[in-house]
Homo-oligomer: A and B are copies of this chain.
């Protein structure tokens, strides 16, 4: 089949569903989500069979161990997917919330009401659990969703979506509210990105090349979930044991995430007190430390950091360390090398805490806390579809509210424009 026709047909089904879904009640949506959760568990064996096909193909193609791990479903992971759906069902429905309501001098009442965005396209890579997570959040916020997962997970994703959409329709959701692009051809993504009349928003989740493709080719608005090159700056006079705990957490608690620390900046006034113990603790936790010349003068065993280290998101147990003259130099370094994701200061100084919060440009800025806390659950949003690195619409953890838009409503009794 012509691939443009294939993608357009599916997007049209989602567009038609979106109009109906916008007015479906919270009860119907929540019941559907709970039944989807039950069905995923009840039909686990079908999911595992489909997943086995993906895994076989992945092994045949020689995919990396990490890739195969991300791709793998097991009863525990299926249970987690189901639990995720139940969590989303339990969250308050954002649709219909009146954000603001004012009476104007001419007597008319002007309000802003949350409404669904419409059709959301999600382009993602290998992990099949993203399919259920993303679909459930979009549906809860009243959006139809066009899902385009990684080619290596196509059997698993098809099986998940088969269950979700069958149960969805049985529970009263419109046909087409979850649409899957099962054609693994890369051209399908390119065609999808041109459908600005059918898809309202594209959310890409994945690596740098996916982000680049989407940014360059999309005619549809994009909210990016991009990389994080995050810093922690330990200020002069900081509580050094607090600093050590925060830095260790930010680096090792889960190094493969976008909000993990990649570079540690240390004020020169405390570097010789702080670094030996800090680096020892990091190395004990398996971290390879690479330092600037000043830090190597204090702890000689560490490797030398090069320019490339300041610009690298390791996503691994590796850390770059730099000793700086003062907070200004730290902020300069962050502005130059950071990715405006998660940036932290550890300090006891009120004025510098304020200045760091004001001047550092990032989706989340922390005082005396771990960058790993940049997360929708931690921030109280309930669930998140990811952490937006875009500067418009959603910045930082993107929850149900950010999956809606607003419309103005005006209640009048004959008001005219003078």
Contacts and interface: CB of A to CB of B under 8 A. Distances in A.
Contacts of A171: none
Interface string A55-96: 000000000000000000000000000000000000000000
Nearest to A418: B253
Interface stretch (A126-134, A277-285, A297-305, A401-409): A401-409
27 contacts: A19-B361, A23-B358, A104-B380, A108-B369, A110-B380, A112-B396, A115-B361, A221-B390, A221-B391, A223-B392, A239-B414, A353-B411, A364-B408, A365-B407, A365-B408, A365-B409, A367-B409, A367-B412, A368-B414, A369-B410, A369-B411, A369-B413, A370-B417, A373-B416, A375-B417, A395-B408, A396-B408
Interface in A253-310: 253-254
A249 interface: yes
Copies of this chain? 2
Interface of A: 19, 22-23, 102, 104, 108, 110, 112, 115, 117-118, 196, 200-201, 215-216, 219, 221-223, 239, 242, 245-246, 249, 253-254, 335, 353, 357-359, 361-370, 372-375, 378-380, 390-393, 395-397, 405-417
Contacts of A219: 215-216
Contacts of A254: 417
**Majority-rule SS of A interface residues:** mixed
**Residue of A375, A411, A412 contacting most chain B CB atoms (<10 Å):** A412
Contact of A201 (B364, B370, B392): B392
B364 A416 contact: no
Given A380-B102, A414-B246, A416-B249, A393 B392 contact: yes
Q: Find the residue from A361, A408, A413 having the highest chain B CB count within 10 A.
A: A408
Contacts of A249: 416-417
B246 A391 contact: no
A361 B372 CA distance: 39
B242 A407 contact: no
Contacts of A102: 380
Contacts of A112: 396
Nearest to A242: B414
Contact of A363 (B201, B392, B408): B408
A349 to B, nearest CB: 14
Nearest to A408: B364
A201 B365 CA distance: 22
A8 to B, nearest CB: 17
Contacts of A393: 392-393
A117 B414 contact: no
A134 B104 CA distance: 25
A378 B104 contact: yes
Q: Which of A239, A254, A368 has the most CB of B within 10 A?
A: A368
